[in-house]
Structure 1
Amino acid sequence: MSKTSETTLEQTALDWFEGFGWHTAFGPDISPDLPAPNLLRQVSGTLPERGDYGEVVLVGRMREALRRINPQMPEEAIEDAVRQVLISDSPSLIVNNRRFHRMLTEGISVEYRRKPSPQPSPRGRGSSHFRGGFQFSGLVETARELRRKQTSAEDMLWELLRNRKFLDLKFRRQHQIGTYIVDFYCAEESLVVELDGPIHNTRERRDLDTARDEYLRSLGNTVLRFRNEELFESPQKIFVAIADQLPSIHGRGDRGEELPPSTFGRGDGGEGVDYAEVVHDLVYLLDLNDLENNDWLAVNQFTVIENRRNRRPDIVLFINGLPLVVMELKNPADENATLHHAFNQLQTYKQDIPSLFTYNELLIISDGLKARAGTLTSGWDRFMPWRTISGADYYPPLIPSARPSPRGRGWEEKGEGSEPKPELEVMLNGMFDKHRFLDLVLNFMVFEDDGAEVL
């Protein structure tokens, strides 16, 4: 009964959010454990799947939202913004949260190089390449499946390479060569690029990778491997490393013959790649002019695993893939499940899964009737109720009573104004109107520095 009551409360809250125009999802439905086809949710044209339980940002949703909100930005600027959001600079949760709040309210400072006029590729667009000459059983379907469930690192690099965005070179993803499927392949340069996650750190996997690379090189390919972390930290370094291995950039052909000077501003000395003018600009995380251009999502039972701690907040609210609100709801049928217990539960979450709270703007606790809201640094005494829905009305609290009440559970009405409602209903209806919520986040969140700590 206890679990059923709490589940019912979660579903009631999700129903309210749907009424506000938010999308909703059940946490396990977007978990990394599910097969890729079940992860595809056509919401705002995005793919909100998670690579693992440590990922607290829905990167696919965020990337697509940034493209919509900042249509004038080149892909490298969008990826730079994504990288800055995902990286934490400090061991302090509060410092990281303050840094993110600045990005959310002021935009993310990026720089990119204005692309030169398109030039013809020195080796053409249709050069032949080795694909084995036949299809090994199951490999074609395996490649398709891998494309559908790319890791976040693979997705990021593909967006930077696709459609000849890098040096006008044609790259293919999850490409079959002989008995292998490589992450990225450029036939024009006989170049293989592999991205390695933690699984590649084992001795057995390293031995397999070595044998694989030797085979690919025996076919005349250059093989480059990068760790996922290298890509997230500096995509530009990855591009420079790739460019350093390109024969056409260095003025040498496949057989060592001299080639004409590169059309991309790099001479035969190979001293560097010229990407032309450096532009400084801002990428915005929120669309304040068209609220429907943002991605609004409420998820219940959102599992996060960090430092071997497995925690599952009741409801997490995402705007453009960013987890801005965490809600902890207690069973209204359990007398021991109090607001204070919900508050303490959030403090445990902050200790055990701090990455989720790096992006937090608001915390909500409720026992089904009473509800309080606070921020990341709020103590118990600073969690407060919300008494209005429209701003022009006032909903008085309900107080415990010894006498029966038609509303059940021994509650009676107190105060004057609009007819009383459960505080959770008033809070969610009042705070999470889309316009009002963004107004709260952008204009009513304040960080204070007392010289010793950030509050």
Structure 2
Amino acid sequence: MAAITESVIEEATLSWLQSLDYTILSGDQIAPKAPTSERQTYADTILVERLQTALEVINPTIPFAAIEEAIGKITRTDSPNLIENNRRFHKLLTEGVDVEYQRDRRTIYDKVWLVDFTHPENNDWLAVNQLTVIENKNNRRPDVVIFINGLPLAVIELKNPTTETATIQGAFNQLQTYKTDISSLFPYNELFIVSDGTEARVGTLTADWEWFMPWRTIDGDTIAPKKQAELEVLLKGIFAKHRLLDLLRYFITFEVDGDTITKKIAGYHQYHAVNKAIESTVAATAETGDKKVGVIWHTQGSGKSLTMTFYAGKIVRHRALNNPSLVVLTDRNDLDDQLFNTFCASSDLLRQTPTQADNREHLQDLLQVASGGIVFTTIQKFAPEPGQTYPTLSERRNIIFIADEAHRSQYGLNARVVRKPDEEEAYLSYGFAKHLRDGLPNASFIGFTGTPIEATDKNTPAVFGNYIDIYDIQRAVEDEATVKIYYEGRLAKIQLDESERPHIDTEFEEVTETEEQTAKEKLKSKCARLEALVGSERRIAQIAEDIVTHFENRLASIEGKAMIVCMSRRICVDLYNAIIQLRPDWHHEDDDKGANKVVMTGSAADDGKMQPHIRNKRRRKALAKRFKNPANEMKLVIVRDMWLTGFDAPCLHTLYVDKPMRGHGLMQAIARGNRVFKDKPGGLVVDYLGIADQLREALHHYTAGD
């Protein structure tokens, strides 16, 4: 049997690309002074003659002078910053290059397209191995460079799996060296591929190693068997011509956060889910469609918000939808803000800036447009005035409701009879979907959720339809899209009196039998009794001491942050005070200092001990920024409900739970610790209230394969 060497892997790579109808050439064949040279110098990274020829084919009505003008624009760099130049080029690649020229004594404003996205066969497809690039005396040879129309859009770096020091991460490190040594190759780069012949991953120019992800499927319908080479699956899954063009056009985004630009590409689960959703949307919005697009269940931490962004970016440009309007729905203000910020960070992909509805009146104004727009709102803004029906705003069919966490109980079309305990008269209460349908009767609905639809939930399928795509916890962990969650029960560490323990167990079971919102309405007395037991002074002191010891031991072995989830705001504050008694240096009155904070809402009516911890939206946002920054001293946060859904802090590795939770609420909470971050081995859930059975039940239910 022949030994597996890097050259063998390289030959296999070229063979797979050739099977996809790429032309294969070596770097020597196109080198300067070679008989078939396509480069004047080793510093040239664009194959200019191929580019000129391809652009003339793709843009047959554009004069050659205008094509030369377009080439000049893409070869010019406006910034010393590589990622800025890369972002600028991507915009030219996906939106065309603006040019002007004279025809019949008139100035014509037109676009030169660098690739033909509609007809893949009109493009020039080339793979070059061992391409020598020399820049500032640095001589480097990437293993394989993919050129489309002479533009170097992808780089593949390979390592030998039989050499202990030549790892797949070594291939990643090699690419980072190339970015510094031969940076002129990368303003045009869209994809990095690394492989050691066994594993294969795809990433972008700005991605750290932990964000280089596998590609598990070729056709999107079946996951490739483990015996099939990962590199073969990745190359055939990404570099099939129609798929690569689709990926370049709709599934790459540049997220802008202040001065930081992060380039992101869809994972295979996101790419195929979005395309299934696009197909379903076209059918649902047609004249004969049922207006139910369906539901995408992608487990928490696997990039659901980004999937929603990619969906929006592609559907707004779909010809069949004729410039649709999108209405993005959440059920909480903080989730509305978080998702809105995610979309705004990708405004290049969306080709527009989304708008956030301030109130009911503003929402109605935004939805009465003739076409277009991306509007963010909480579902509560669709509530009509008491005793009234929500007014009809538009009868267009190209309006799409995009609902985050679509399984929530408030979506429903049917009425139910409600009778308040203190009132004799009953009234009809409708799910919010009724009001949405009243306002926009021909709109279609798509739902995104991080947790599955309950078997007893009839509302969600009635409003949204059936599953479009499922990506559950098990697959996310296998793909390293999320990390594993580990459990540690520390109930035994808290020495309760025997007389107290059975009461806590009983109250806990009753409170967690129903959803938290129902518990607030129907189980207030039981919650109050449990809160008194859980929040006793002696118990809080014990938990504070145990958390401090446990967390300091965690920090000694792995750098990161922790969140404590308490049952009430009163317990949050009391626990904070108990921790500060043990570690006074963790406290600071200023928001921008201190290691420990409570994050909660409140009002002027709250008692004095609460007031130091009540902050407005702007101040809470500043705390979130501190907590998300791995280098910031803020290491520990105490919450009741805030930051348990939609809050993304990858450096968070420990969740201390001292609150009755079950079902999707529990899964949402523990998912705060499942984000990928550097060498984080997993997230840890530390249980002080005995949620093991609830966690086991939720994990079983939330894995599609079970």
For the criterion TM > 0.5, the same-fold answer is yes
The answer to whether the aligner puts 1:57 opposite 2:46 as a matched pair is yes
2:254 corresponds in structure 1 to 447
2:4 and 2:162 in contact (8 A); partners too = no
**Displacement of 1:333:** 2.2
1:3 and 1:331 in contact (8 A); partners too = no
* Paired amino acid for 1:361: E
Map of 1:323-402 to 2, 5 A cutoff?
Answer: 323-397=152-226
The correspondence for 2:125, drawn from 280, 290, 296, is 296
CA distance in 1, matches of 2:80, 2:50: 26
Q: Secondary structure at the match of 2:13?
A: helix
1:296 and 1:318 in contact (8 A); partners too = yes
Q: Secondary structure at the match of 1:317?
A: strand
Cα distance change of structure 1 residues 18 and 317 upon mapping to structure 2, 3 Å threshold: same
1:29 corresponds in structure 2 to 29
1:54-101 alpha-carbon deviations (Å, 9 max, x no partner): 110000000000000000001111100111111111100000000000
CA distance in 2, matches of 1:365, 1:53: 24
1:267-288 alpha-carbon deviations (Å, 9 max, x no partner): xxxxxxxxx4222110001112
CA distance in 2, matches of 1:3, 1:14: 18
1:26 and 1:300 in contact (8 A); partners too = yes
Q: Secondary structure at the match of 1:279?
A: strand
2:81 corresponds in structure 1 to 92
2:447 corresponds in structure 1 to none
2:146 and 2:152 in contact (8 A); partners too = yes
The answer to whether the aligner puts 1:19 opposite 2:19 as a matched pair is yes
The correspondence for 1:320, drawn from 149, 164, 173, is 149
1:142-176 alpha-carbon deviations (Å, 9 max, x no partner): xxxxxxxxxxxxxxxxxxxxxxxxxxxxxxxxxxx
2:68 corresponds in structure 1 to 79
Identity in percent: 53
CA distance in 2, matches of 1:23, 1:56: 18
Q: Secondary structure at the match of 1:109?
A: strand
CA distance in 2, matches of 1:89, 1:439: 27
Cα distance change of structure 1 residues 111 and 3 upon mapping to structure 2, 3 Å threshold: farther
* Paired amino acid for 2:237: G
The answer to whether the aligner puts 1:39 opposite 2:36 as a matched pair is yes
2:55 corresponds in structure 1 to 66
**Displacement of 1:109:** 0.4
The correspondence for 1:311, drawn from 140, 148, 158, is 140
CA distance in 1, matches of 2:161, 2:4: 10
Q: Secondary structure at the match of 2:101?
A: strand
CA distance in 2, matches of 1:442, 1:344: 27
Q: Secondary structure at the match of 1:437?
A: helix
2:108 corresponds in structure 1 to 279
CA distance in 2, matches of 1:315, 1:3: 21
CA distance in 1, matches of 2:66, 2:118: 21
**Displacement of 1:319:** 0.3
Map of 1:148-187 to 2, 5 A cutoff?
Answer: none
CA distance in 2, matches of 1:361, 1:379: 15
Q: Secondary structure at the match of 2:108?
A: strand
2:4 and 2:161 in contact (8 A); partners too = no
Over 2 Å off, 4+ runs: none
> How many matched pairs?
262
**Displacement of 1:4:** 8.1
| Unmatched 5+ stretches in structure 1 | 41-48, 117-275, 398-419
CA distance in 1, matches of 2:143, 2:211: 21
Map of 1:153-232 to 2, 5 A cutoff?
Answer: none
Map of 1:106-145 to 2, 5 A cutoff?
Answer: 106-114=95-103
CA distance in 1, matches of 2:150, 2:75: 11
Q: Secondary structure at the match of 2:254?
A: coil
The correspondence for 1:102, drawn from 65, 79, 91, is 91
Q: Secondary structure at the match of 2:252?
A: coil
CA distance in 2, matches of 1:445, 1:301: 27
1:103-132 alpha-carbon deviations (Å, 9 max, x no partner): 100000011122x5xxxxxxxxxxxxxxxx
* Paired amino acid for 1:328: E
TM-score normalised over the length of structure 1: 0.56
* Paired amino acid for 1:431: I
Cα distance change of structure 1 residues 3 and 295 upon mapping to structure 2, 3 Å threshold: farther
1:328 and 1:346 in contact (8 A); partners too = yes
**Displacement of 1:332:** 2.4
**Displacement of 1:3:** 11
Q: Secondary structure at the match of 2:256?
A: coil
The answer to whether the aligner puts 1:430 opposite 2:237 as a matched pair is yes
**Displacement of 1:345:** 0.3
Structure of greater Rg: 2
**Displacement of 1:337:** 0.7
**Greater relative CO, 1 or 2 (CA 8 Å, sep 6+):** 1
| Unmatched 5+ stretches in structure 2 | 263-706
2:117 and 2:246 in contact (8 A); partners too = no
